[in-house]
Amino acid sequence: MKLKNEKLGMEYADRIRESICSRFKIDNDLIDIAYKKTIDNFSDLICSNYNLESVYDNPIILYKINLTICLNYLFDLDRLDEIVLNDEYVDNFVNRVVAQILYSDLNGSSFQMSNILNHPIFLSVLSVSSIIKYRCGFDAIMLRKKLKKDFTPIFILIKEAMESLESTLLLIANGSNSQAMTVYRLYLEQIITGIALIKNYDLVDKYFEFQNLTIKYAKNTSDHDVLKVLEENKVPARDVKSFLNYGWIEYMDGYKELGKKRYSIKIMAKLCGMENIYELYSDSTNYVHMNFLYANIDWPKEINSVIETIYATMIGVINNYHSFTGFDFIYKNINLDNELKTIFEEYEKILSNKGNEYNIFRIKSA
């Protein structure tokens, strides 16, 4: 019975491969070579990852393998002038495919088959985001034991930022570009604040104190505790909300040298060397306030800029998260930090060669 099922599975795999190849119109020779090498050399590893006895036991994993091969081939067509099917290229190609199949299970669903979300450009970012969300709870406990201090507010903020990142990419994949830009702005705000807190983690209690004041004021503008703090700090009426949101930055190094008391995300970004991210955050405000609602937006160019920024900020998040917690972003012997940086470099090369009008979404539906 097992041999019969495997034979049926192999026949089904052939039909899946033919279906995907016809849909993407790609080189059948590469698909055949890459698929055979993946199955011959890595089927045990893939089966172990997905708790299968055989890759032929689950038609969805067969579909996923073929889809991953196709998407990487299309990515290579964009970044390489010519594809030469020699042993070196095929080995590199198959290793990339297998790595992506293994770490894609970080992204919500083990058998995610979206042609967008499984694209290398999206998949690497989403996988790193997922692992950060998973780590946040564990690392909050670990640091509390190690440093005898509760850093939960920082990890809650970082986790929320990852949710915003994933939401931004999902909206982009859905073609909801304007809506994606509003969530993207929230992501940038959360990233600026999160990294500022990691760099000044001794101020986490002060940050949380101001957050609680903000909550009280939102519920009741006559709250006694809030009015007392405002009076003690002689905060004018026009600055109340900005003070409650960002008053904690007064305790950061360099704030007193500014000369004038100002409370804003712009000042926070300046104190932490993130002015470039703030400028992007500021620009995205135009979408939130619908200033561009009737403008002729060059969306491929805009979306490429968003993806570039997400990659750059995620590399910053990884570096700061590592310095804060010591976590190395190794998953199933795959260095996700290196994976992210490598794909980003290749993506930058594509934009350099093809221009910012490059459309990642030209691929047909899987």
- Of 150, 30, 151, which Cα lies nearest the Cα of 87? 30
Give the list of residues 6+ apart from residue 16 with CB closer than 8 angstroms, or none: 59, 62, 63, 66
pLDDT in tens, the chain (366 residues): 455 556 666 666 777 777 777 777 777 788 889 999 999 999 999 999 888 888 888 888 888 898 899 899 889 988 887 888 899 999 999 999 999 999 988 876 555 667 778 899 999 999 999 999 999 999 999 999 999 999 999 999 999 999 999 999 989 988 899 999 999 999 999 999 999 999 999 999 999 999 999 999 999 999 999 999 999 999 999 999 999 999 999 999 999 998 888 899 999 999 999 999 999 999 998 888 777 777 788 888 999 999 999 999 999 999 999 999 999 999 999 999 999 999 999 999 999 988 888 887 776 544
CA 202, CA 183: separation in Å to the nearest integer? 29
Token look-up 């609602």 returns 293
pLDDT at site 9: 62
> Which of 165, 204, 184, 161 shows the shortest CA–CA distance to 324?
204
d(CA 352, CA 103): 28
Closest CA to 85 of 28, 23, 25: 28
Q: Please choose, from the candidates 123, 89, 91, the residue with its C-alpha nearest in 3D space to the C-alpha of residue 107.
A: 123
The confidence score (pLDDT) of residue 206 equals 96
**How far is the C-alpha of 7 from the C-alpha of 24, rounded, in Å?**
26
CA neighbor of 303 nearest in space, from 163, 188, 191, 184? 184
Contact partners, residue 171, CB within 8 Å, separation at least 6: 177, 179, 180, 183
Element (H, E) at 330: strand 330-331
CB-CB contact of 243 with 262 (8 Å)? no
CA trace torsion 96, 99, 101, 102 (10° rounding): 180
- 169's CB contacts (< 8 A; 6+ apart) are 117, 122, 125, 126, 180, 310
Separation of CA 299 from chain center: 20
Distances in whole angstroms, Cα of residue 136 to Cα of each of 210, 335, 341:
22, 19, 22
Where do we find the tokens 């049926």? 8
Distance CA 86, CA 273 (A): 46
Q: If DSSP codes are grouped into helix, strand and coil, which group holds residue 120?
A: helix
With 0-12 / 13-18 / 19 or more C-beta atoms within 10 angstroms meaning exposed / middle / buried, residue 345 is exposed
Residue position matching structure tokens 């200033």 = 291
Is 217 in a helix, a strand, or coil? Answer: helix
What is the Cα 245 distance to its own chain's centre? 26
Residue 366 confidence (pLDDT): 41
Bridge partners, residue 308, by sequence: none
Q: What is the dihedral of CA 308, 309, 312, 313, to 10 degrees?
A: -150
**DSSP structure class, residue 364:** P
| Residue 21 confidence (pLDDT) | 72
